[in-house]
Every structure is written in C-alpha cells, then in structure tokens.
Amino acid sequence: MLIMAPSICSDLAPIWQIIGWVLWVFKIVIPIVIIVFGMIDLGRAVVASKDDEIKKSVKSLVMRAIAGVIIFFIPTLVGAIFGLVGEFNDNRDEYNVCQQCISNPGGTCNDIVDCVEDASKMWDKDSNTCVNR
C-alpha cells in the first residue's frame, strides 16, 4: 500500500514542475540529438565509401532511432503510472497535482495547486478546470 503525506504534491509542486521540465527535455531534445548524431555518422561513412562502415553506421542509426523513440515515450509512461496510482487512492486531488505538474509543467500545474488548496473546489480531470464541489 502506498502511503503519501496529505499535501506532498501541492507542497512540492515547484519540484514536480522541474521534474516535468526535465522530462520534457528528455522527450524533445535528446531524441533529436541522438538522431542528428546518427545521421552525421552515416554521412561520414557514405563519404568514406566503405561498405563495412556504411553497414555499421546504418545499424547504429537504427539503434539510435529506436532509443530516441523509447526516450520520447518516457513522459507518457510516467503520466500513465501517476494516473493509475491516482485512481487507487482516496486523495486523488493530490495525485492529480503531481500528474499535471509532471505532464504539463508550463500549463495547468499552478492552476491545479490553487484549486486543490481551496477546500470548496475540486479539479475536474476531464476538462482540466477547477469546479465547485
């Protein structure tokens, strides 16, 4: 059973936002860098006109592309895990704070923290808005 302090997500929202930005960098920048470096290696092999180097570079490019795709889906996997954990917890609003701050660090994170702190309101996950209880 997972035990969590009552307001750990909203109290640590800035940290969850930083984690969200790091995951965003993982999702966007790292796959692009991996693929660009693979293309540079392949270009060098083609210019060298050696069949063994070209085959080795193509294999390397494919492996890097696969790694880039896997890294691209890490934030989606993290969001899905938070969604599953949140469904099995009595304090869903707190888990929604963690999930929103990680999956959307520049958007609804601050809105959901303000909403959760107001006892008369609750976060509607479907519309991503704060509604009255």
Cβ contact 24:31 at 8 Å: no
**Residue numbers of the domain that contains 124:** 13-132
Residue 115: inside a domain: yes
Residue 3: inside a domain: no
Residue 96: inside a domain: yes
> 29: which DSSP letter?
H
Each residue's pLDDT expressed in tens, for the chain with a length of 133 residues:
455 555 777 788 888 889 888 888 877 888 888 888 888 888 888 888 888 888 888 888 888 888 888 887 877 787 777 777 766 666 666 777 777 787 778 777 777 777 777 767 777 777 777 777 7
- Positive or negative: CA dihedral 103, 106, 112, 113: positive
Whole-prediction pTM: 0.62
